C-alpha cells in the first residue's frame, strides 16, 4: 500500500479544521482513500489542536502512526507532533510568525515559508491555510488546479472574489515552495477507480442509517461528540417527512423518543457520556413498558465532563448493565463507518422485533473521523415492524380481550397495538403490571412478567456478534470491540509479516453477549491480548464473566484521550506473546 501522512496544527481558532477539511476533501475527490482524525480541545479559542489526514490507494481503517508532512502554525505544533515525523519528512512552518526549532538528528527537513505574508499578498492573512495547502501540493507534486473544485464549493456563497483570492493564496504557496525548496514526497499512485466512493464520518453514517431505517424523529440535547448526528439529521430528516426536537435536556429527549415510538413513529435519541447517564431511568421505563427505542451513545472520555473532545470506550458496562432493575436490551458496537450505517438502520428493526431498547455504542474516534468508503447501498436496508396487531385481529377479539403484555407467549414478544386502534386499550406504565397493563403487585404476576421479558432475547441471533479474521488455528489472538477494528487488523497483518500467526477476534455486539461464538473463536488460543480504550478492561471483564478464559487474557489499555496506535499494540504484543517469536 502506498500512503502519505499529513498533519496541520496550531492554536484552536486558527482555521485548523477548515484547512484539514479542504485538503482531505480535495484528496478524496482526486480519487484517494482518506482517513482523518481531529485532535482538538474543548475550547472556542486557544490551546493546541491538530488535524491529521492519511491518504492511500486503498481503503483505510485507521489514521496511522506517522506523519510525512507537518504544517506548523506555531512552535507547539512541532514540539507536540515531532515523535510522529518520519525520517526524511518535511515540516513547513510560518516564518512570518516565528522562527522554528527542531532536533537535527532525524533527517526531517525544517522549511520556513512566509505563510502570513503570502496570504496578505493574496488578499488577507486569514488565507495562510490556503498558502500552506499550496506548498503541500508542491511537496506532493499535485497540481494547484486540482483543488479548485473544492475551493469553489467551499467559498462560492461568499462570492467569486473570495474564491479567486483563496486560489491566489494556494498558488502563491505552491510557487514559493517550488522556487525555494527541492524536496518532494510524491503522492501515492491514484487507485484504479471502480466506483464512486463516499467521504463520510461515523456520526454522519449513523444519521444516514437512521433515515434509511425509517426513523423520522430525533429528540436530542446537544453534546460533543454526538451533536454531529443531530446536525446531519436536521439537514436531511425534514426532506423526508422527519422531525428533530432539541429537548431541554437528555431526560426529556429519551422520553420524547419513547413516546413517539409508543405512538408508532420510529424515533431515536443521540447523546454521549453524561447525557447517556441521565437517560438511565427512562431506559428502565422503555424496558418495563416494552416500548421500542434506539439510543446512540457516542462515547467520550469520562467520568463527568471528563475530556469532552477526546475518545474512550468506557461506557461499555453502563450500556450493558445501566438502569435500575433488570431489563433486556441489545447493545451494538459498530466496527466501521459502514456498520454505523447498517447497524443503526437495523437497530430499529431489532427494537420493534423484540420491543426493547437498542443501544448503538460508538465513540468519538469512529464518530468524528471522516473517511472514504466504497458506498453505502441502501438496498441492503429492510424495514420490519415486528409484531404489530392488525385492526382485523382486534375486531375479532372484541372489547377487553387484547392482552398487550400476554405472559403466556413462548417467545415473550406479545403483539403491539398503536394508539387509536379499536379494542386495543391498555396501559403502558413503569409499574409492574398484568396482561392489560394495570398495576398489579401479586407475586405470581411479577414472576410471570419478569420471565416474559427475559424470554424475548433468550435465543437471540443476529449477524452482529463476534467476527474472526486471520487463521482459525492461530494460538494467539488480538481482541477488541467497536472502533479499534481497523488498527487491530493492521496490527494482525504486521505481526504476521514478522512471523507470528495471530487471529483477530472483534465484537460488534456485546448484549446479548455472544458467548458461544466467543468460546468457539477462543478455542485453541493460548494467549489473547484484549485491546480497549479504558482503564479497567471492561471488555475483558465481560469475556471472563461469560466464558471461562481467565488464564488466557492479557490487557492492552489506553485512556489518555487519544485513539490506540499501531505501535502501542505491537509493543504490548511483544510483551505478552512468547518471547523469541517476534523479530
What per-residue confidence (pLDDT) applies to 104? 83
What per-residue confidence (pLDDT) applies to 296? 98
DSSP reduced 3-state for 480: strand
Contacts of 210 (CB under 8 A, 6+ apart): 218, 233, 268, 294, 344, 345, 348
Dmax over CA atoms of the chain, in Å, equals 88
> What are the cell numbers at 288?
418495563
Q: Distance between CA 124 and CA 158 in Å, rounded?
A: 15
> What are the cell numbers at 315?
461506557
Q: Residue 92: which H helix or E strand, with range?
A: strand 85-94
Q: Distance between CA 466 and CA 246 in Å, rounded?
A: 36
What per-residue confidence (pLDDT) applies to 581? 44
Convert the pLDDT of each residue in 429-467 to its tens digit: 999 999 999 999 999 999 999 999 999 999 999 999 999
Q: Distance between CA 368 and CA 540 in Å, rounded?
A: 26
Residue 65 near residue 565 (C-beta atoms within 8 A):
yes
228 alpha-carbon distance from chain centroid: 11
- ∠ CA 33-203-287, nearest 5°, is 140
Cis peptide before 303 (omega within 30 of 0): yes
What per-residue confidence (pLDDT) applies to 76? 96
Residue 128 near residue 192 (C-beta atoms within 8 A):
no
Angle at which helices 115-122 and 128-140 cross, to 10°: 110
Q: In the predicted model, is pLDDT for residue 136 greater than 70?
A: yes
- What percent of the chain has pLDDT above 70? 99
- ∠ CA 188-191-194, nearest 5°, is 170
Q: In the predicted model, is pLDDT for residue 579 greater than 60?
A: no
Convert the pLDDT of each residue in 5-53 to its tens digit: 999 999 988 889 999 999 999 999 999 999 999 999 888 778 899 999 9
Q: Distance between CA 514 and CA 550 in Å, rounded?
A: 17
Convert the pLDDT of each residue in 186-213 to its tens digit: 999 987 766 778 999 999 999 999 999 9
Q: In the predicted model, is pLDDT for residue 526 greater than 50?
A: yes
| Strand pairing category for 502-507 and 476-481 | parallel
Residue 572 near residue 556 (C-beta atoms within 8 A):
yes
CA dihedral 537, 538, 539, 543 (to 10 degrees): 100
Q: In the predicted model, is pLDDT for residue 580 greater than 50?
A: no
Whose cell is 437495523? That residue is 346
What per-residue confidence (pLDDT) applies to 13? 84
Q: Distance between CA 151 and CA 166 in Å, rounded?
A: 7
- pLDDT band for 406, please (50, 70, 90 cuts): very high
Length of the chain (residues): 583
Alpha-helical (H) ranges within 237-363 are 250-262, 273-278, 280-288, 316-321, 337-354
Angle at which helices 160-180 and 128-140 cross, to 10°: 50
Alpha-helical (H) ranges within 5-112 are 16-30, 75-81
Whose cell is 426532506? That residue is 239
What average pLDDT does range 543-556 have in this prediction?
95
8-state DSSP, 166: H
- pLDDT band for 178, please (50, 70, 90 cuts): very high
Convert the pLDDT of each residue in 84-117 to its tens digit: 999 999 999 999 999 999 988 789 999 999 999 9
- pLDDT band for 583, please (50, 70, 90 cuts): very low
- What pTM did the predictor assign? 0.96
Convert the pLDDT of each residue in 374-402 to its tens digit: 889 899 999 999 999 999 999 999 999 99
3-state secondary structure string across 204-219: HHHHHHHHHCCCCEEE
Convert the pLDDT of each residue in 210-229 to its tens digit: 999 999 999 999 999 999 99
- pLDDT band for 582, please (50, 70, 90 cuts): very low
Residue 478 near residue 502 (C-beta atoms within 8 A):
yes
Helices then strands, each counted (H, E), the chain: 20, 20
User: Among candidates 569, 563, 536, which has minimal Cα distance to 312?
Assistant: 563
Amino acid at each position: 500500500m502506498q500512503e502519505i501522512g499529513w498533519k496541520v496544527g496550531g492554536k484552536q481558532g486558527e482555521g485548523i479544521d477548515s484547512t484539514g477539511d479542504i485538503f482531505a476533501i480535495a484528496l478524496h475527490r482526486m480519487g484517494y482513500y482518506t482517513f482523518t482524525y481531529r485532535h482538538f480541545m474543548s475550547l472556542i479559542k486557544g490551546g493546541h489542536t491538530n488535524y491529521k489526514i492519511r491518504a492511500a490507494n486503498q481503503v483505510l481503517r485507521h489514521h496511522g502512526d506517522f506523519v510525512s508532512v507537518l504544517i506548523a502554525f506555531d512552535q507547539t505544533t512541532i514540539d507536540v507532533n515531532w515523535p510522529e515525523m518520519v525520517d526524511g519528512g518535511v515540516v513547513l512552518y510560518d516564518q512570518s510568525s516565528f522562527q522554528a526549532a527542531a532536533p537535527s538528528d532525524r533527517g526531517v527537513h525544517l522549511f520556513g515559508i512566509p505563510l502570513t505574508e503570502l496570504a496578505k499578498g493574496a488578499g488577507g492573512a486569514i488565507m495562510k491555510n490556503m498558502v500552506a495547502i499550496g506548498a503541500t501540493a508542491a511537496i506532493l507534486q499535485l497540481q494547484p488546479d486540482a483543488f479548485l473544485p473544492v475551493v469553489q464549493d467551499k467559498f462560492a456563497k461568499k462570492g467569486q472574489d473570495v474564491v479567486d483570492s483563496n486560489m491566489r493564496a494556494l498558488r502563491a504557496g505552491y510557487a514559493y515552495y517550488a522556487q525555494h525548496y527541492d524536496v518532494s514526497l510524491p503522492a501515492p499512485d491514484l487507485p484504479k477507480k471502480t466506483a464512486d466512493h463516499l467521504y463520510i464520518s461515523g456520526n454522519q453514517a449513523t444519521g444516514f442509517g437512521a433515515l434509511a431505517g425509517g426513523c423520522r424523529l430525533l429528540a436530542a440535547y446537544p453534546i460533543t461528540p454526538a451533536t454531529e448526528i443531530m446536525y446531519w439529521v436536521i439537514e436531511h430528516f425534514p426532506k423526508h417527512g422527519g422531525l428533530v426536537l432539541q429537548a431541554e435536556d437528555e431526560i426529556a429527549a429519551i422520553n420524547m423518543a419513547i413516546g413517539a415510538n409508543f405512538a408508532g413513529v420510529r424515533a431515536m435519541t443521540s447523546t454521549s457520556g453524561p447525557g447517556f447517564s441521565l437517560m438511565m431511568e427512562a431506559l428502565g421505563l422503555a424496558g418495563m413498558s416494552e416500548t421500542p427505542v434506539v439510543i446512540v451513545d457516542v462515547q467520550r472520555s469520562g467520568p463527568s465532563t471528563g475530556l469532552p473532545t477526546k475518545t474512550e470506550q468506557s461506557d461499555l458496562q453502563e450500556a450493558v448493565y445501566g438502569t435500575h432493575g433488570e431489563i433486556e436490551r441489545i447493545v451494538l458496537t459498530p466496527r466501521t463507518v459502514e456498520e454505523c450505517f447498517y447497524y443503526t438502520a437495523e437497530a430499529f428493526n431489532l427494537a420493534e422485533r423484540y420491543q426493547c431498547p437498542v443501544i448503538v455504542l460508538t465513540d468519538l474516534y469512529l464518530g468524528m473521523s471522516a473517511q472514504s468508503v466504497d458506498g453505502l447501498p441502501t438496498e441492503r436496508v429492510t424495514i420490519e415492524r415486528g409484531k404489530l396487531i392488525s385492526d382485523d385481529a382486534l375486531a375479532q377479539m372484541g372489547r377487553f380481550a387484547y392482552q398487550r403484555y400476554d405472559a403466556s407467549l413462548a417467545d415473550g414478544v406479545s403483539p403491539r397495538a398503536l394508539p387509536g386502534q379499536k379494542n386495543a386499550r391498555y396501559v403502558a406504565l413503569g409499574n409492574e403490571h398484568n396482561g392489560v397493563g394495570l398495576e398489579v403487585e401479586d407475586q405470581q404476576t411479577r414472576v410471570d412478567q419478569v420471565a416474559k421479558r427475559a424470554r424475548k432475547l433468550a435465543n437471540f441471533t443476529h449477524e452482529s456478534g463476534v467476527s474472526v479474521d486471520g487463521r482459525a488455528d492461530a494460538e494467539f489472538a488480538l481482541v477488541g470491540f467497536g472502533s479499534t477494528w481497523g488498527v487491530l487488523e493492521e496490527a494482525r497483518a504486521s505481526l504476521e509479516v514478522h512471523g507470528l500467526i495471530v487471529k483477530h477476534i472483534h465484537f460488534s455486539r456485546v448484549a446479548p453477549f455472544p458467548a458461544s461464538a466467543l468460546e468457539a473463536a477462543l478455542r485453541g488460543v493460548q494467549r489473547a491480548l484484549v485491546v480497549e480504550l479504558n482503564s479497567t478492561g471492561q471488555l475483558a471483564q465481560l469475556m471472563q464473566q461469560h466464558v471461562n478464559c481467565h488464564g488466557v487474557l492479557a490487557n492492552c489499555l489506553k485512556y489518555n484521550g487519544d485513539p490506540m496506535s499501531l505501535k502501542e499494540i505491537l509493543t504490548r504484543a511483544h510483551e505478552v506473546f512468547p518471547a523469541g517469536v517476534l523479530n
